[in-house]
Amino acid sequence: MAIKITGTGSYIPDLVEKNEDFHQHHFLNADGSSIDYSNEVIVQKFKDITGIVERRYAKNHLTSSDLGFFAAEKAIADAKIDPEELDYIIVAHNFGDVKHEKIQSDILPCLASRIKHSLRIKNPKCVAYDILFGCPGWVEGVIQAQAFIKAGMAKKCLVIGTETLSRVVDKHDRDSMIYSDGAGATVVEASEDTEGGILAHETASFTYDEAYYLFFGNSNKQDLCRDTRYIKMHGRKIYEFALNNVPQAMKACLDKSGVDIKDVKKVLIHQANEKMDEAIIKRFYRLYKSPAPEDIMPMSIHKLGNSSVATVPTLFDLIKNDQLKNHKLSKGDVIIFASVGAGMHINAIVYKY
Judged against a pLDDT cut of 90, whether residue 186 lies above it is answered with: yes
Q: Class of 198-352 per CATH?
A: alpha beta
Average pLDDT of the chain to the nearest whole number: 95
Cα–Cα dist 133/130, whole Å: 10
Judged against a pLDDT cut of 90, whether residue 24 lies above it is answered with: no
Q: Residue ranges per domain, the chain?
A: 2-194, 198-352
CA-derived radius of gyration, the chain: 20
Cα–Cα dist 253/248, whole Å: 9
The three-state secondary structure class of 231 is strand
Segment 291-298 shows an average pLDDT of 93
Cα–Cα dist 278/322, whole Å: 22
| Residue pLDDT, tens place only, 56-87 | 999 999 999 999 999 999 999 999 999 999 99
pLDDT band per the 50, 70, 90 thresholds, residue 193: confident
The three-state secondary structure class of 38 is coil
Which pLDDT score, from 0 to 100, does residue 223 have? 86
What does 48-85 look like in DSSP terms, one character per residue?
HHH--SEEEE--TT--HHHHHHHHHHHHHHHHT--GGG
Closest to 284 measured CA to CA, from 329, 242, 331, 221:
242
pTM above 0.85, yes or no: yes
- Give the fold, CATH level 3, of 2-194: Peroxisomal Thiolase; Chain A, domain 1 (3.40.47)
Residues 188, 146 contacting (CB under 8 angstroms) = yes
